[in-house]
Amino acid sequence: MGMNWLLWSVLLVFLVFGSVPVGSDAGSDPDPDLHPDPPRDPHTPQHTPPHTPRRTFPVLTVQFQTVRKPFESALWILLASLLKLGFHIIPRFSSVVPESCVLIMVGLLVGALIKLLGETLPVLDTQLFFLVLLPPIILDAGYFLPIRPFGENLGTILVFAVVGTLWNSFFMGVVLYGVCLLEGSSQLAGVDLLACLLFSSIASAVDPVAVLAVFEEIHIHELLHILVFGESLLNDAVTVVLYHLFEEFAMMGEVTLVDVFLGVLCFFVVALGGVLVGAVYGLLAAITSRFTSHTRVIEPLFVFLYSYMAYLSAEVFHLSGIMALIACGVVMRPYVEANISHKSYTTIKYFLKMWSSLSETLIFIFLGVSTVAGPHTWNWTFVSATIVLCLLSRVLGVAGLTFFINKFRMVKLTGKDQFIVAYGGLRGAIAFSLAFLLSAEHFPMKNLFLTAIITVVFFTVFVQGMTIRPLVDLLAVKKKKETKFTINEEIHTQFLEHVLVGIEGVCGHYGHRHWKDKLGRLNASYLRRWLIVGERSQEPQLISFYNRLELEQALLVAESGTAGRLTPALPSSASLLAEKQKSVMNVSKEREQRIRKILRANLQKTSQRLRSYSRHALFLEEEEEDDWNEMKLQKQRLEMGRRMSHYLTVPANWQESPPLRRAKTESGNQVKESRPSAAVSVPIVSVESVPPSAPADSGMSPDKTADSPPQTVGGALKSLAGSGRGKGRKPSVTFALDVDEQKLPRCLSDPGPNKIDEEDEEHREWEV
């Protein structure tokens, strides 16, 4: 415990001193070393002698100016990340206080320290916020948006986002104006109706960053999460429109009916325009991903660039950038994921998570620092009225809207749900930045607004953020169920969808299922064909899902090295394997190393021997090589996993090499069946193989052992296959060993000698 506090204090010190250079940005003297001879006057040569007096060669110079800005930015980011690290090391803390609170507090501390030192504080630059810090968070949210629940609840979400925000803004604005009038103090005298409306439109928008930060940690069930989160994303359009509308009106001074009408029109343009821009860029990204099969390395870059361009393009026209970003992510995801390699998918996922996490951290810290920076105008009436009205309007809005929505929903929202939705309406940095953007000339009460908004943000993040977790437990709100994707759920869900569409057809009822089905059909027949490369375009969704499941489990087996962690959901052969290896849990590291070394050595020899015997060159064409290799790689990894486990059960005397057994699958004549779609979807259970010109259905072919590598798990194989049959299953539980392709050492994440490296590189792509 003491160590943790020490760590924290060290970090804080760093943060403070790191920000001192940031603060003293304006008034820094130019470094004397940069300009040894300032050119003063070219016409007076005698003042600038061509040779300076000889000085010693500087071995070590300090030249901070040139790297100042990047250095400071990097330092801030580094310190923010270290803080995040520190936060998670302290376990008790992180379970009570949400991360956002801690970060704001740290920001406050840092800001206070900087102020004490007398330096100028770095303020949350709105440009920086909107153009750099916000997009990663939104893209992360949009790209991984769970489409099914979002689509099912879209109506509800839209009602909350649009009508709810409108209600909040107007209610709060009008009542606040009334309060200001009633109060009658000089401070509030300059606050007119439009200014109030503008202020309330800023303050009433639920903030996606804050919602994400808090809701991530409480794990409520999917419906509530998607409702609040979807609302926070979609209300951006409303906020943008209202903000610009009221800003214009306030500057113009008077409002006519035409203006109101134009405002409404503007809303539709902003929202739909944003979505359209995003969709266009999403399609472009999908098209581009069709052609990236030769340059896999930059695939993630396209995803990020197109999304960012969508955001920026929308911002150019004052359309809703957030909606553009969401639309882009949603549109491009199914096609891009079908086209890119597995590694690129992982890269995208982790980069997005990393950037969004970093942005979030920075935003909250800067929020804290900016709070200290001020300037503040505190007015008890205004601020308290704001907070009370925020809560009140939210509760009223949610309750009223739910009353109407429940008439149209099949699964009604209960009182508990409504409470969580209302309570989860957190405000955050977007509100703050929008307030910051107000021009001071048109709005003399800007500081008042800023103070009030900061207070609201603090209140929601601290009070609501901290108490929502115990409240969720207290009210026994349904938590998020541990969703392990099961093939059963997927099959039955799709089955039910088909049935329901059919029944709706019988009733003559064209509900949303009908249109969804039509859209899906359109998607399958046109879009998928154009946008997805190769065979995957024809692949039904069920098959892709299944392949993905199998792949994940194959990776699990391969990466774990021992098969002790196999889940019970694996099919038969793997479960048999699991039974065998239940005892294998603790393997000493040295033993593993020894095993790996010997495996590698022997397999290497085989590779040099057998390269020329590659039978696969006979049948396969060039483009199928990739898939074929990858499939074999998959098989081999599994095989490796099995072998490892086998070796670990066998005591040390395994220098002998059991002969290689080659078991044929029942579908022996698979010569033609090397289409990539069939090849890719190799599950653990039955594996197709291209048989050599050997007799078709011989069970074991011991005569092949001569040219085979020594390592096999012949014993284990046989017994597995045997007991597989013994269980009465169909003999599809057999597998072939293609030990020719010597990429095996890779599976154990073993770096291996370089020779195999180069051969490996081009075949390493996983197209899933």
Partner 1 sequence: MGSRASSLLREEDIEEIKKETGFSHSQITRLYSRFHSLDKGENGALSREDFQRIPELAINPLGDRIINAFFPEGEDQVNFRGFMRTLAHFRPVEDNEKNKDPTAEPLNSRNNKLLFAFRLYDLDRDDKISRDELLQVLRMMVGVNISDEQLGSIADRTIQEADTNGDMSISFSEFIKVLEKVDVEQKMSIRFLH
Contacting positions for partner 1 (CB under 8 A)? 152, 408, 410-412, 481, 483, 486-489, 491-509, 511, 514, 538-540, 542-543, 546, 569-572, 575, 667, 673, 677-678, 681, 683, 685-686, 688, 729-730, 732
What b/e sequence results for 297-316 when a residue is b if at least 16 CB atoms lie within 10 Å of its CB, and e otherwise? eebbebbbebbbbbbebbbe
Q: How far is the CB of 501 from partner 1 (least distance, A)?
A: 6
Q: How far is the CB of 173 from partner 1 (least distance, A)?
A: 36
Structure tokens at 739: 């030990």
Question: Rg of the chain's alpha carbons, rounded to an integer?
Answer: 32
Nearer to partner 1, 572 or 636 (CB): 572
**Angle at the Cα of 175 (from 172 to 176), degrees rounded to 5?**
75
* CA separation for the pair 642, 634 (Å, rounded): 13
Nearer to partner 1, 154 or 685 (CB): 685
Q: How far is the CB of 676 from partner 1 (least distance, A)?
A: 12
Q: How far is the CB of 720 from partner 1 (least distance, A)?
A: 16
Nearer to partner 1, 328 or 682 (CB): 682
CB-based contacts of 185, cutoff 8 Å, min separation 6:
379, 381
Nearer to partner 1, 125 or 504 (CB): 504
Nearer to partner 1, 673 or 762 (CB): 673
Q: How far is the CB of 732 from partner 1 (least distance, A)?
A: 6
Nearest to 199 by CA among 210, 191, 187: 191
Nearer to partner 1, 689 or 705 (CB): 689
Nearer to partner 1, 52 or 483 (CB): 483
End-to-end Cα spacing for the chain: 46
* CA separation for the pair 459, 451 (Å, rounded): 12
Torsion of CA 149, 152, 157, 158, to 10 degrees: 140
Name residue, tokens 């003399």.
Answer: 444
Q: 244 exposed, middle or buried (CB, 10 Å; 0-12, 13-18, 19+)?
A: middle
Nearest to 139 by CA among 326, 390, 391: 326
Nearer to partner 1, 442 or 509 (CB): 509
Nearest to 365 by CA among 236, 209, 235, 225: 209
Q: How far is the CB of 471 from partner 1 (least distance, A)?
A: 24
* CA separation for the pair 98, 85 (Å, rounded): 14
Name residue, tokens 């010190």.
Answer: 13
Q: How far is the CB of 672 from partner 1 (least distance, A)?
A: 11
Q: How far is the CB of 289 from partner 1 (least distance, A)?
A: 23
* CA separation for the pair 269, 248 (Å, rounded): 17
Torsion of CA 567, 573, 579, 585, to 10 degrees: -60
Nearest to 662 by CA among 696, 629, 685: 696
* CA separation for the pair 123, 113 (Å, rounded): 15
Nearer to partner 1, 34 or 487 (CB): 487
Q: How far is the CB of 685 from partner 1 (least distance, A)?
A: 5
Q: How far is the CB of 696 from partner 1 (least distance, A)?
A: 16
Q: Let me know: does 157 contact 238? Beta carbons within 8 Å.
A: no
Q: How far is the CB of 415 from partner 1 (least distance, A)?
A: 13
260-to-170, 176, 237, 686 alpha-carbon distances in Å:
14, 21, 16, 66
* CA separation for the pair 639, 662 (Å, rounded): 13
Q: Let me know: does 274 contact 323? Beta carbons within 8 Å.
A: yes
Nearer to partner 1, 88 or 729 (CB): 729
Structure tokens at 486: 């099961």
Q: Let me know: does 722 contact 699? Beta carbons within 8 Å.
A: no
Nearer to partner 1, 624 or 750 (CB): 624
Q: How far is the CB of 641 from partner 1 (least distance, A)?
A: 18
Q: How far is the CB of 341 from partner 1 (least distance, A)?
A: 22
Nearest to 274 by CA among 227, 303, 240, 229: 240
How many CA atoms does the CB half-sphere of 50 hold within 13 Å?
0
Name residue, tokens 């109407």.
Answer: 404
Q: 663 exposed, middle or buried (CB, 10 Å; 0-12, 13-18, 19+)?
A: buried
Nearer to partner 1, 35 or 481 (CB): 481
* CA separation for the pair 246, 248 (Å, rounded): 5
Q: How far is the CB of 120 from partner 1 (least distance, A)?
A: 55
Q: How far is the CB of 414 from partner 1 (least distance, A)?
A: 9
Nearer to partner 1, 396 or 500 (CB): 500
Nearer to partner 1, 28 or 538 (CB): 538
Q: Let me know: does 202 contact 244? Beta carbons within 8 Å.
A: no
CB-based contacts of 547, cutoff 8 Å, min separation 6:
680, 681, 768
* CA separation for the pair 250, 323 (Å, rounded): 26
Structure tokens at 37: 């001879």
Q: How far is the CB of 707 from partner 1 (least distance, A)?
A: 28
